Structure 1
């Protein structure tokens, strides 16, 4: 029980601190232009400054200082049904929508210094969501309380980058990522708080990239993002029962001060091809090394007896506990998109993306993950030589998954989950 609850806690804080790029976690919301084409070719197209979120080397394609700022509205829908345990004898039913809505801003600025060097800064989010499965309990006297509750997550990535044009064909770039995450989590058994978390953390990573221009109509981009180990700190409280020598079974309150969360690296390849005067084709293949994520350890915890004759007695100090293995797998993402220049002022976009799930052997009600299909459309309208407005809409459809997750309170819990989302994005671009 102690082991599982700390694992559940870690999963939630992982979400709060990570810049994840995989099915089940990802919010692709870096730009409205990218959303319209399912982010296909985004590491090399460089039609606005949002390319900073994918490939710093592409700044070499800019000849004027450029600013891009946008806002994305996301409606996340997580359906949970047929939640049952005790061999199906107890059925908690389901929830049609356990997800939430989010407003996610972004900002980018690229500044060419000369014909060789360019610098840029960016602020965007790679993840942010919330779920609430509390209504599954519905006054139940027996339930998997350790699996059901509220989770709220927000992340921000701040990036500074530089690029260098080696020659007419090759450009290289590098950037520093500062990743801030904040998460809240509650798991209650009636009036007893099993888990109560309000924590945030920061980590530093980086990205390197390159672009290869065969000519103005055909070019390729490659980038590799080095993800950090994020240190998460805050109010991290867990209640559980544990056998203590000479004292029997006691209810312990454990306060953890720190979690160290290793994140996955991300490799991305993109291509752009202007096939006709009006039509361009672009694509992306992305590989995320989630297979490196195996275990997280809690750090600097203090255990105190919470009730009874020994209430307030410190049971242990500097508690460090290894957590369960996740058995996640490396994942692929593929996208294909097209842009059609309808007129001098109006460009239309469309795209499709397949996003491969990361959960392998161990599924989870806490993380309803699956493969996802993205269907996107978008448009750009040129207000003047300097100003452009981008719009993008995406419908994300996840597959229904059946899972079995073990609860320390009631044993194995069966359920079916399905995640989907709708994105609406707007962006303003200005070339100085």
Structure 2
């Protein structure tokens, strides 16, 4: 009875285990690489800047920055490094609890390109219609099938692609407002290794993967206020995005003891569904022109990670007429703040220089950190520049180094609250050292 009670949880978790296995540039799995201009200041002043239309991601009112029909395209090349040192690992107690062999994984997190595109079309002197394409959330990573923690996770891919339509209006010289509606296309790919059952051994390990997707909607609101010339305050809000993922769980080389034979657990190919809420983002920013060449910007950004309290996976009946029990993955993320400050220096009419520092706090708690969430607090160090090419437009580049706190993943087979949802994956003790470098390039032109 113990094997039957534990294994559905173990195996269904194993399929989903890699959801948060990688590291993105921002805390959790948020991506904030939506503008090479903003990246040069470490997002300082992101919701209040008059620089260009790319700042509309954080505040839709900033589409009023358009100087006519305008196109802004940006790409961020994210180059993360993750070193994982496994101190010890063992199989679940129900599989004998023996040590798990394997080498430390390498190349866990892949380089990735984060694209952003903005287009503004003025409807009148004060009203602008805008559209944008962004990737607000995402990660990718692969531990492989040979590392000692392979029962916890093997491979992952998560992506949220957002298409927005925005209306922004300049009320008067002091106030601008804006609102957008968004269509979000979300995809999840999750793989993990499944241990061989000691009851009916096959001398090989199984493999499970989950593929699911959904299309849903969100919105954004924003306002910009300039109480005195040269001082701007901005507020932007992007809504929580609720996904109802649907897809398929597929298994290969799974021991018969875990399927229709043996324990009759229903571990076979089946349709799956899962509801997951990506967090809201509130951005508060200010810019102040210190003189005719130097400008100070600051930002405080609150991400509502508390919406990710848990992940629940439901399984339909497979070919054997059995359905796995629901899987509940506890994250217990906390809402967190991002803070940044930066300077912009107008060196000449054509050349603008930028720099910035930021602190980005992780939503993960120590007691729930796992290979799915090896997340640590971050510090950003950014520099950037823009060069105006006259009527040909403007080119912008930025470089950011992200220093991420070292963390340890210590799984002893149960959560602190006594839950057994983690226990059936076995024990794991591993240390993580992570950092990232990001190069962003953008081109902006008016027609």
Shorter-chain TM range is: 0.7 to 0.9
Q: For residues 269 and 210 of structure 1, do their structure 2 counterparts lie closer, same or farther at Cα, with a shift above 3 Å needed? A: same
Q: For residues 90 and 135 of structure 1, do their structure 2 counterparts lie closer, same or farther at Cα, with a shift above 3 Å needed? A: closer
Counterpart CA distance in 1 for 2:260 and 2:187 is: 37
Say which structure is richer in strand. Answer: 1
Counterpart CA distance in 2 for 1:182 and 1:233 is: 10
Q: For residues 24 and 412 of structure 1, do their structure 2 counterparts lie closer, same or farther at Cα, with a shift above 3 Å needed? A: same
Displacement after TM superposition at 1:155 (Å): 3.0
Q: For residues 172 and 268 of structure 1, do their structure 2 counterparts lie closer, same or farther at Cα, with a shift above 3 Å needed? A: same
Determine if contact 1:259/1:296 at 8 Å carries over to the other structure. Answer: yes
Q: Which deviates further from its counterpart, 5-14 or 95-104?
A: 5-14
2:389 counterpart residue number: 383
Secondary structure of the 2:136 match is: coil
Q: For residues 44 and 15 of structure 1, do their structure 2 counterparts lie closer, same or farther at Cα, with a shift above 3 Å needed? A: farther
Q: For residues 288 and 273 of structure 1, do their structure 2 counterparts lie closer, same or farther at Cα, with a shift above 3 Å needed? A: same
Displacement after TM superposition at 1:334 (Å): 0.5
Secondary structure of the 2:317 match is: strand
Residues 101-126 of structure 1, C-alpha deviations (whole Å, 9 max, x = no match) = 11222110122222332110000112
1:308 counterpart residue number: none
1:172 counterpart residue number: 177
1:200 counterpart residue number: 213
Counterpart CA distance in 1 for 2:391 and 2:183 is: 34
Determine if contact 1:240/1:253 at 8 Å carries over to the other structure. Answer: no
Matched, 1:315 2:322: yes
Q: For residues 158 and 244 of structure 1, do their structure 2 counterparts lie closer, same or farther at Cα, with a shift above 3 Å needed? A: closer
Counterpart CA distance in 2 for 1:294 and 1:98 is: 25
2:241 counterpart residue number: 228
Matched, 1:214 2:220: no
Matched, 1:109 2:124: no
Secondary structure of the 1:395 match is: strand
Q: For residues 82 and 380 of structure 1, do their structure 2 counterparts lie closer, same or farther at Cα, with a shift above 3 Å needed? A: same
Counterpart CA distance in 2 for 1:185 and 1:246 is: 25
Determine if contact 2:18/2:190 at 8 Å carries over to the other structure. Answer: yes
The equivalent position to 2:88 in structure 1, one of 69, 84, 97, is 84
Secondary structure of the 2:329 match is: coil
Displacement after TM superposition at 1:326 (Å): 1.5
Determine if contact 2:362/2:377 at 8 Å carries over to the other structure. Answer: yes
Displacement after TM superposition at 1:85 (Å): 2.6
The equivalent position to 2:348 in structure 1, one of 343, 346, 371, is 343
Counterpart CA distance in 2 for 1:249 and 1:145 is: 24
Counterpart CA distance in 2 for 1:7 and 1:431 is: 50
The equivalent position to 1:163 in structure 2, one of 168, 178, 182, is 168
Q: For residues 243 and 154 of structure 1, do their structure 2 counterparts lie closer, same or farther at Cα, with a shift above 3 Å needed? A: closer
Give the root-mean-square deviation of aligned CA atoms. Answer: 2.9
Determine if contact 1:365/1:417 at 8 Å carries over to the other structure. Answer: no
Q: For residues 211 and 240 of structure 1, do their structure 2 counterparts lie closer, same or farther at Cα, with a shift above 3 Å needed? A: farther
2:357 counterpart residue number: 352
Q: For residues 242 and 276 of structure 1, do their structure 2 counterparts lie closer, same or farther at Cα, with a shift above 3 Å needed? A: farther
Instruction: Spell out the pairing of 1:141-152 with structure 2 (5 A cutoff).
Output: 143-152=148-157
Displacement after TM superposition at 1:419 (Å): 2.3
Q: Which runs of 5+ in 1 are unaligned?
A: 138-142, 305-312
Secondary structure of the 1:302 match is: coil
Counterpart CA distance in 1 for 2:316 and 2:276 is: 16
Counterpart CA distance in 2 for 1:27 and 1:166 is: 31
Counterpart CA distance in 2 for 1:328 and 1:410 is: 21
TM-score, normalised by the number of residues in structure 1: 0.87
Q: Which runs of 5+ in 2 are unaligned?
A: 1-6, 91-96, 196-203, 414-421
Residues 212-255 of structure 1, C-alpha deviations (whole Å, 9 max, x = no match) = 11234110110111122112222323568889999745562151
Aligned length: 414
TM-score, normalised by the number of residues in structure 2: 0.84
Q: For residues 290 and 242 of structure 1, do their structure 2 counterparts lie closer, same or farther at Cα, with a shift above 3 Å needed? A: farther
Q: For residues 28 and 281 of structure 1, do their structure 2 counterparts lie closer, same or farther at Cα, with a shift above 3 Å needed? A: same
Matched, 1:284 2:299: yes
